[in-house]
Amino acid sequence: MTGTAPSFLADWPWLTILGIVPLVGTALVAALPTRLARPVSLLTSLVVLAGTIAMCAAFEPDGERFQFVQAYDWIPAFGVQYAVGVDGIALVLIALVAVLVPVVIVASWNEAEEGEQAMVPDAGSSAPAAGRIRSVKTFFALILVLETMMIGVFAATDVFLFYVFFEAVLIPMYFLIGSYGGPRRSYAAVKFLLYSLVGGLLMLAAVIGLYVTSADQGEGTFAFERLTELEISTPVQIALFLGFFIAFAIKAPLWPFHTWLPDAGAEAPVGGAVLLVGILDKIGTFGFLRYCLPLFPEAADILGPYIIVLCVIGILYGALVAMGQKDLKRLVSYTSVAHFGFIGLGCFAFTSQAQTGAVLYMVNHGLSTGALFLVIGFLVARGRTRNVEDYSGVAKVAPVLAGLFLVAGLSSLALPGLSTFVSEFLVLVGTYTRYPVAAVFATVGIILAALYILWAYQRTMQGELRVPAGARMRDLRGREVLAVAPLIALMLFLGFYPKPLTDVITPAVNATMQDVGKQDPAPTHAQPTR
C-alpha cells in the first residue's frame, strides 16, 4: 500500500472489476460440474485477492481522499448514481474481504457434500442433528455472491447505492445460515434477517430524509461529498443521525442491539461465521465513520458521549457473558460484542489515534476472530459438539490444533506482539485524552478477555484427555493448517509492523476529523519554564 505500482494501474476501474469477478465465478460454478465448484471458487477468490493487491499498490496514501473513482448515472430522475471510490478506511476493509474469502473457501472445502448428512449437534449435546441434503455448488456460489456485495458496500460513494448493498448482503448470508447452519439454523437466520431489516428500514427513512433536505437546498442528490456540504439544522441532524446509527449499531452489533449475533454466530457454518463476524459486522462500524460522523457532525457531537457509555457497557457485558458460556461458538460471538465496543469507542472518541485504532481494530479483529472461529470449527468437526465441558486434554492428541487455538486466543485478548494489541492500545490512548473515565473502565475489559480466553483454552486443551464418545480427535490436516496459516502470519506481521496499514488509514481518518470539525485535544501537562 505504498503507491509504488506503475501509474497506469491507477486508471483501471479496479472496484468494478473486483465486484464483477466473483459474479463471473458464480456463473461458472452454476454451469460447471459439481466437482469443479471448489477449485473454481478458490481460483475466483484468488483472482480477486491478486487484483486487490494490485489496487493497494496503486493507492496513494497522500493523494486524493477518494481514489479509483467511477460515477455513472443510474436513476437520473432521483440523482442516483453508480458511484464508487475508496479512501484508506474502505481500502483496508476491502483488502480484508479479499484475504478472508479464499481462507474461508479452503477451510470450508468439505463444508457441504452432496447427499451428506449434517452432523452439527445441539449446544451441550453430542447427538448429531437431523440429516439433510446440501448443495456444494450453492454453498460456494453464495460465498462468491457475498464477496461482491461486501466489496460493493465498502466501495459505494453514493448513499443510495450503499443502502442497496447494505441490504443485499443479507440475502446470501441468510441462506448460508438457514441452509448450512446448525440445528437451530432457521431461528438464527430469521432473527438475523429481521433485526437487519428493521435497521435497514430506519436507515432508508434517513436516506430519504437526506435526499429531501438536499432537494430543498438545490438539487436532490445521494452523492456523499455533496451531502457533506449541506446545511442541516441540529434537530434534523439528530433525527437523521439516529436513523443511520441504529441501523449500523444493529449491524455491528453494539450493546443493546447485539442479541441476534450469538445465535447467528453459533448456528452459522464455520465459513459463514468467519465472514459474518469478520466482515459483515464491520459494515456497521464502517458506517459510523463514513456516514454518521461526516454527514451529521453536530448530532455526533451531542450524542457521542451517550454512545461512549453504550460502548463501555458493551465491552464489560460482552466479556462477562463470554466467561459464562459453555458453547464455544457462542463464547467467540460474545467476545465480538466486547471487541465491537472497543471499535465503537474509538469511532466516537473524536481523536485521530482512537479512530485510526478503530479502523485497525476492524482489520485485526477479522483476522483474530476469523482464526478463532476456524480452529473451533475444526475442533467441533472432530468432536461433534460445541460444549466446552465435553473436551479436555486435546493438546495431547492434536498439538497443532491446540497451538493455533492458543495463538488466535492470545491475539483476541490483545497480547503484545500480536496485531490486536496495537489497535486496542491506540483506541485506549486516543480515548483517554478525551474521555479518561471511559478509557479506564474499558481497560478492565482487557483483564476479563484474558480470563475467558485462557479459561476456554485450559478447559479444552489442557488436563487429562477427554473427548466425546465416537470422536476422531486427530490433529489438523494440511488443508486446515493452510487455511489458518495466512491469518496467523498476518497477526504476527502486523503485531510488529502495523505501519503499512496505519500509513493508509491515518489520512482518511484526518479527513473524517476535518469533516466533523474536531481536533486532537492539546496536551494538558505543564510546560517546563526557563
Q: What are phi and psi of 183, to 5 degrees?
A: -65, -25
Rg over alpha carbons for the chain, rounded to the nearest Å, is 22
Grid cell listed for 31: 454451469
pLDDT, residue 1, reads 53
The residues that bridge with 86 in the sheet, in sequence order, are 67
pLDDT, residue 6, reads 52
The helix or strand, by DSSP H or E, that contains position 402, with its residue range, turns out to be: helix 399-412
Query: Measuring CA to CA, how many Å separate 337 from each of 185, 332, 343?
Result: 20, 9, 10
Provide CB contacts within 8 A for 309, sequence distance 6+.
Answer: 438
In 32-103 the beta strands, taken as DSSP E runs, fall at 67-75, 80-86
CA distance linking residue 119 with residue 250, whole number of Å? 31
Query: Domain residues for 487?
Result: 7-516
- DSSP 3-state assignment of 69? strand
Task: Please report whether residue 524 resides in a domain.
Answer: no
CA distance linking residue 210 with residue 215, whole number of Å? 9
- DSSP 3-state assignment of 64? coil
Task: Please report whether residue 526 resides in a domain.
Answer: no
Q: What are phi and psi of 166, to 5 degrees?
A: -55, -40
Provide the CB-side half-sphere exposure for 213 (13 A, CA): 24
CA distance linking residue 365 with residue 301, whole number of Å? 27
Quick check: 158 and 222 in contact, CB under 8 A? yes
Quick check: 34 and 133 in contact, CB under 8 A? no
pLDDT, residue 114, reads 41
The residues that bridge with 81 in the sheet, in sequence order, are 73
pLDDT, residue 112, reads 64
- DSSP 3-state assignment of 99? helix
pLDDT, residue 470, reads 61
Q: Is 353 exposed, middle or buried (0-12, 13-18, 19+ CB in 10 A)?
A: buried
pLDDT, residue 266, reads 82
Helix 436-461 and helix 328-348, axial crossing angle in degrees, nearest 10: 160
Task: Please report whether residue 506 resides in a domain.
Answer: yes
Quick check: 105 and 271 in contact, CB under 8 A? yes
- In total, how many domains does the chain have? 1
Grid cell listed for 207: 436516506
Grid cell listed for 48: 480477486
Task: Please report whether residue 523 resides in a domain.
Answer: no
Q: Residues of the chain whose pLDDT is less than 70?
A: 1-11, 112-133, 469-471, 522-530
Grid cell listed for 272: 459463514
